[in-house]
Amino acid sequence: MTADAALQLRRLLHAIPKLSDGQAHSVDEVARVARTDRNTVLRDLFSLTERLNEPGGFIPGLQVYIDSRRRGVRIANARHFRRPMGLTLGELSALQLGLAMLRAERTPNEYAPIDRARTRLRKAVAKLPADEWQAATRHAEFGAAGEQSHLSVIRDCIRKRRKARIKYRTANAEDPQVRVICPYGLIASRGAWYVVAHADDRDAVRIFRLDRMEEAKQLTAVFQAPEPFSIASVVHDGRVFQANDAESLRVRYSPAVARWIEERERVPLAADGSVTVEYPLADAQWAVRHVLRYGADAEVLAPEAVRVAVIERLLGIVAAPLSGATA
């Protein structure tokens, strides 16, 4: 079966039950429900009825009526297609993949509805012989959330528009701080989860990495999300950060690592094979950590303050005693 034919059959098995309820439905409505366009709907319907070179005398097949005045369409004689087909194995597998991802992000006491949903969906599948059940061909995870219970608390706060009290350790701090936040939404990016929230102590929107949260508690106080506010406003060029000023970080990567950077940042290589990238600078400590991971293959060109910070860190490493372990 070609992919086109399968898609057309899938669309028709969705549409026919809707259109065979005795009512006229507008083509636009059918297209909206089927998430396709008017022309595709009409083409699909005509494909059912345009019978050429076939002998007569058979039980009449589906009859499609299109009322041009009311722009309505209905199907008659579809007594075997008044319900949709059950879920296919592919459809069930796709939903099960999503439920498995959901389960991986939740705490054990939140598993019950997910597991019940999985069981019920399996009963909605078109039955295949047992040997046709296949092992999963997809696996997906969005990233580390740290304590899953924190993710659950934050999700619940977002849903109920409740404030949360969190204990949060910033990237460079040894001591966590207690903060009250109004969580607006969650972002999964590059293997980590982030909470976009109004931080009451800063009276500004801030981004918190979930795996740096050490406690999270829902408060009774409610909040109103600002209008208009979009979670996407903190996403810039595929990165999650709050750009407060115009300062930028300029880094040159050596030819040894430049192709990875070129692929990730979609910037062209220089003639010598190196690549220079300019990033909005939201956090100098992030910049230091980012550059250090490339060793001698990355160099901060600007700003000077970040160059100095990188040098200081490296001098500290070289001067540190070989064995500083404390038992």
Partner 1 sequence: MATAKARRKHKGPKERNSKLQRWIDLLAALLSRQLPASFEELRHDVPAYTAGDGPTLMRMFERDKDELRAFGVPIESVPYGDPPENGYRLRARDFYLPFLAVTTPERPTARSAVPPAGYRALDQIAFEPDELTAVGDAAARVRALGDPLLTADVESAMRKLAFDLPADAMRPGTDEYVLTNPVDEKCFVVLGAALLDRKVVSFDYHAMSTDQTTRRKVEPYGLVFLGGHWYLVARDQAHEQLRSFRVNRITRIVPNRARPQTPDYEIPAGFHLDEHARSRHAWNLGDEAVITAVVDFRRLTGATRAASKLGHAVRGSSNLRQFDVRRSDAFARWLLSFGGDAMPIEPPTLADRFRTIAREALGRYGASP
Could you give the strand order of the β-sheet that contains 63-67, starting from the edge strand earlier in sequence?
Answer: 25-26, 72-76, 63-67
Long-range contact set of residues 184-189: C-beta below 8 Å, sequence gap at least 24? 184/158, 184/225, 184/229, 184/231, 185/158, 185/231, 186/151, 186/154, 186/155, 186/158, 186/231, 187/231, 187/234, 187/235, 187/240, 188/142, 188/143, 189/143, 189/235, 189/238, 189/239, 189/240
Beta carbon of residue 64, minimum distance to partner 1 (angstroms, whole number): 12
**Which is closer to partner 1, CB of 142 or CB of 279?**
142
Cα–Cα distances in Å, from 206 out to 110, 233, 244?
28, 12, 10
Indicate the residue among 102 and 243 with the shorter CB distance to partner 1. 102
CB-wise, 53 or 246, nearer to partner 1? 53
Q: CB 8 → partner 1: shortest distance, Å? A: 6
Of the pair 27, 85, the CB lying nearest partner 1 is at: 85
Whether the CA torsion 238, 241, 247, 250 is positive or negative: it is negative
- 186-218 burial: b if 16+ Cβ within 10 Å, else e: bbbeeebbbbbbbbeeeeebbbbbbbbbeebeb
Nearer Cβ to partner 1 (26/88):
88
Nearer to partner 1, 69 or 313 (CB): 313
Q: How far is the CB of 264 from partner 1 (least distance, A)?
A: 9
DSSP state of 229: -
Min CB(10)–partner 1 separation in Å? 6
Is 275 in contact with 258 (CB distance < 8 Å)?
yes
Least Å from the CB of residue 281 to partner 1: 17
Q: What's the min distance (Å) between Cβ of 245 and partner 1?
A: 22
